[in-house]
Amino acid sequence: MAFVTRQLMRSVSSSSTASASAKKIIVKHVTVIGGGLMGAGIAQVAAATGHTVVLVDQTEDILAKSKKGIEESLRKVAKKKFAENPKAGDEFVEKTLSTIVTSTDAASVVHSTDLVVEAIVENLKVKNELFKRLDKFAAEHTIFASNTSSLQITSIANATTRQDRFAGLHFFNPVPVMKLVEVIKTPMTSQKTFESLVDFSKALGKHPVSCKDTPGFIVNRLLVPYLMEAIRLYERGDASKEDIDTAMKLGAGYPMGPFELLDYVGLDTTKFIVDGWHEMDAENPLHQPSPSLNKLVAENKFGKKTGEGFYKYK
């Protein structure tokens, strides 16, 4: 009986140890790499929900612009959220901004962070170089995540020695408004890492959905072929872009037509995604290039951000 008792105690002890080792990371400190629209948006929602944030980019000028954009966005949020109490709104803005610090040296700030979220240029080589470097300086428990919308998470994770603590965390623009976050689990991502990122997404007030590391994840995998088919419909002369947009808004209940959305997202971004998919699967008819899209991008007509795309903007 004593032998059985000892065995049971060892079993319980072993189980407790395993449970402790598998304990989820509660993310409190976040480092966001990239001060563009996406990175600034992620930093904003993280700070607004009680996380301490370090926002990193290459120059102080970029970071100053990012911080200014965050403040303007926060004031819009406060105006709605604290309509009856402007003073509380001002306090909310100041408190949120006080939890965001900036840096131009990513390696020097990741040693004490729980989560690194990367939101830089969609270039695999650049992302790999970044994560390979940060992997040497980040704490053992630190989770790495990429906000990429088109690159394979596994290919980025392989640049590090922490593939089990690496996943995709795909936010949508504008981050403070859009509720969805795609949490991408690679074959190497641990359940502990995945659950920690799901909890973090919920803590931001977002709605996380899970997807395997498949091209485009969920939203872009469905959305981009739809946008490309709209372009082909227009290229064939079957309908005007204006009528296609109107049809999808009034017939399908979409808030924006495909050409309006293409211009909003950026034609260069859409072309980059399609080109990447075409390279991986050249025979797939959904991934075929578009002459009119290629022409507009070659002319630097990317949409709203350049003043002209499929439509002209003042």
127 is in an annotated binding site: yes
34 is in an annotated binding site: yes
Neighbours of 276 (CB within 10 A): 17
Q: What is the pLDDT of residue 312?
A: 97
Instruction: Give yes or no for a contact between 118 and 130, defined as CB atoms under 8 angstroms apart.
Output: yes
205 is in an annotated binding site: no
Q: Which of 148, 149, 170, 175 shows the shortest CA–CA distance to 159? A: 148
d(CA 53, CA 173): 19
Question: Sorting pLDDT into bands at 50, 70 and 90, what band is 17?
Answer: very low
The DSSP bridge partners found for residue 101 are 54
Q: Please check the confidence at residue 180 and state whether its pLDDT lies above 80.
A: yes
- Parse the chain into domains and list their residue ranges: 25-212, 220-306
* Assigned token pair, 44: 């904003």
Question: Sorting pLDDT into bands at 50, 70 and 90, what band is 14?
Answer: very low
Q: What is the pLDDT of residue 150?
A: 87
Helix (H, G, I), strand (E, B) or coil at 84: coil
d(CA 188, CA 28): 24
Determine the residue type at 177. V
- Quick one: DSSP state of residue 49? T
* Assigned token pair, 212: 């395997």
Determine the residue type at 197. L
37 is in an annotated binding site: yes
* Assigned token pair, 274: 């399609």
**Which residues have C-beta within 8 Å of that of residue 115, sequence separation ≥ 6?**
25, 27, 29, 30, 31, 142, 143, 144, 145, 197, 200
The whole-number average pLDDT for the span 14-42 is 80
Q: What is the pLDDT of residue 314?
A: 81
Any idea how long the chain is?
A: 314
1 is in an annotated binding site: no
Q: Which of 105, 113, 96, 101 shows the shortest CA–CA distance to 46? A: 96
* Assigned token pair, 94: 């100041």
Q: What is the pLDDT of residue 51?
A: 98
Over residues 128-178, the pLDDT tens digits come to 999 999 999 999 999 999 999 989 999 999 999 999 999 999 999 899 999
Q: Which of 242, 220, 224, 146 shows the shortest CA–CA distance to 185? A: 146
Burial (0-12, 13-18, 19+ Cβ within 10 Å), 134: buried
**Which residues have C-beta within 8 Å of that of residue 301, sequence separation ≥ 6?**
267, 308, 309
Over residues 228-279, the pLDDT tens digits come to 999 999 999 999 999 999 999 999 999 999 999 999 989 999 999 999 999 9
- Which CATH code fits 220-306? 1.10.1040.10
Q: What angle do CA 194, 25, 53 make, to 5 degrees?
A: 100
DSSP H stretches of helix in the chain: 2-21, 37-48, 60-81, 86-98, 124-135, 153-157, 191-203, 219-235, 241-251, 258-265, 267-280, 291-298
Over residues 65-84, the pLDDT tens digits come to 999 999 999 999 999 999 99
Across the chain, mean pLDDT equals: 93
9 is in an annotated binding site: no
CATH fold of the domain at 25-212: Rossmann fold (3.40.50)
Q: Active-site positions?
A: 149, 170, 182, 220
Determine the residue type at 47. A
Q: Please check the confidence at residue 7 and state whether its pLDDT lies above 70.
A: no
